[in-house]
Amino acid sequence: MAVATVAAASGEDIFPLDMVRTRKTIFQALIDARARYGGKRQAIVDGDERVLTYDEIVRAALAMGNALKKGTSRRECVGIMLPTSIGAVIAYFAVSAFGRIPAMLNFTSGASGLMSALRTAKIKRIVTARRFIELAKLDALAAELSAVAELIYLEDVREKLSVFDKAAAGVGQFLPGLVASRPPHESTAVVLFTSGTEGAPKGVALSHGNLLVNVEQVRAHIALYPTDILFNPLPTFHCFGLTVGVLMPLFLGIKIVLHPTPLQPHEIVRRVKRTGATILLSTDTFMSQYARAGEQGDLNSLRIAVCGAERVRDETRQLLRKKYAIDLIEGYGVTETAPVAAANQPGANRPGTCGRLVAGMQARLEPVEGIPNAGRLFLKGPNVMLGYIKPEDPGVIVPLEGGWHDTGDVVAIDEEGFISIKGRLKRFAKVGGETVSLAVVENCASSLWPDHSHAAIAVPDGRKGEQIVLLTTYPEAQRVDLVGWAQNHGVAEIAVPRRIIHADNIPVLGTGKTDYVKVEKIILAGT
């Protein structure tokens, strides 16, 4: 089919992109931020309320990096398996400062997913922490991983820092160029992994320039201030949690409050209130939990609540506006774009869309049979990845053809450039020859039963090709009620699931997205 639409970025940028800021390494960007904002400036507050300054981050990264580099070579991937914490941030900069490549491991993906990631990126060492393994009850996983890779524990590294490691930190904090590596900004700065919901996880290779450009794109798109305090409970193995939750605020002089897990709504609301955080990063699933956990006024310090990774439901938006007078800023991104590709803006915030493309990006839509007025989204820009590292060819980065990334998402782009996500191409069902969005099915259920969670999948049907099944946490959910709701709201009955199955909870990935692999297993087990 012919290409239907070509769209370029059309958002109203707050600032122009400063590309000079992007032609350096991630560690150099940290050094420059320290010089710009002051070494004594508080930069990070950890989950245990420990505070680190820019000076302390630089010294710790250089000392630890000098210790960790032993037994590794430049451009080798070193795994980091840690929760969102100062330890994860230091480990990331430590590995990067000496020319190694941090590979952020998703410890929620299970042994098979992690083993696949280790093979794909040829990882022989994993940086982790004994306390984390103990608290997260990952002893069995650690034992399994230790059979194929060496586990390096931060507690041991700190205890055994040598005179040379401390000297590297002492000299490097004043003359970092004498100690730290300076790879090209086009070289790989991090390897992240796809969720593996559509096959074995692929490695996503992002360059120093990709990450720094994306920081600049966000800075140009949304007004951010040095007085802001950003609260980040999202995992650093997720690109949103790493780039927007750690690198962006550090490089822009914004204090970060880290929280080790997004799964503690009451504690997160308490810490947001206590720290006076002005920006909260989340996903729709988690934001809905935080909104319900807090009392009136608990989140009043927030001026921006930014949601990505999944569609924001109208119910979540309305709850936050009614209870806390907060407008959600919904954005769109994928790991392959480092990750922010589009976002709404204060003053240009259109519910039901994920905003307009950030500066420097282009979008191309290709028609999809059975889905009118929308197309398959391809993206191109300076923040688009170097390429995939595929399981069948470990360690090899496969560049994109022509620089275009196929997102696999079906979207519509209006005349003003606002993007509406219709769903993943693989999240459409063919029922009796008609194409039905499973996202629409979930939206209908959420509108009728807003206090509960829902997930829809398609299963084979001998008569109609496929049929839609809904998994819901609402124990009283009945198909007849959904049929009535659809009729009253102009939704075709074909979008009503044929069957409804009840569950105590809907499984989610560590990133907050619905885990459709597990959803399918639950549904198939219940049939």
Instruction: At 521, give phi and psi (nearest 5°).
Output: -65, -40
Is 516 contained in some domain? yes
Q: Is the pLDDT of residue 52 over 90?
A: yes
User: Which segment of 135-149, 252-266, 294-308, 352-366 scores lowest on mean pLDDT?
Assistant: 294-308
**Rounded Cα–Cα distance for residues 105 and 237 (Å):** 6
DSSP string, 468-526: EEEEES-TT--HHHHHHHHHHTT--GGGS-SEEEE-S---B-TTSSB-HHHHHHHHHHT
Number of domains in the chain: 1
Is 520 contained in some domain? yes
**Rounded Cα–Cα distance for residues 89 and 72 (Å):** 20
pLDDT at 363: 94
User: Which segment of 15-24, 81-90, 414-423, 443-452 scores lowest on mean pLDDT?
Assistant: 15-24
pLDDT (tens digit per residue) in 267-297? 999 999 999 999 999 988 888 888 888 888 8
Is 367 contained in some domain? no
* pLDDT band at residue 397 under the 50/70/90 scheme: very high
CB 501 within 8 A of CB 522: yes
Is 448 contained in some domain? yes
Is 495 contained in some domain? yes
Token pair of 372 as six digits: 């009118």
Block residue for tokens 């450009």:
213
Q: How many CB atoms lie within 10 A of CB 71?
A: 10
* Alpha helices by DSSP H, 146-283: 154-159, 163-172, 208-221, 239, 248-251, 265-275
Is 354 contained in some domain? no
DSSP string, 441-465: HHHHHHHHSTTS-EEEEEEEETTTE
CATH number at residue 485: 3.30.300.30
Is 403 contained in some domain? no
CB 411 within 8 A of CB 402: no
Q: Domain limits at 505?
A: 432-525
Q: Is the pLDDT of residue 513 over 80?
A: no
Q: Is the pLDDT of residue 74 over 80?
A: yes
Q: Is the pLDDT of residue 24 over 50?
A: yes
Helix (H) or strand (E) holding 406: strand 405-413
Pairing status of strand 405-413 against strand 371-380:
antiparallel
Q: Is the pLDDT of residue 3 over 60?
A: no
Is 479 contained in some domain? yes
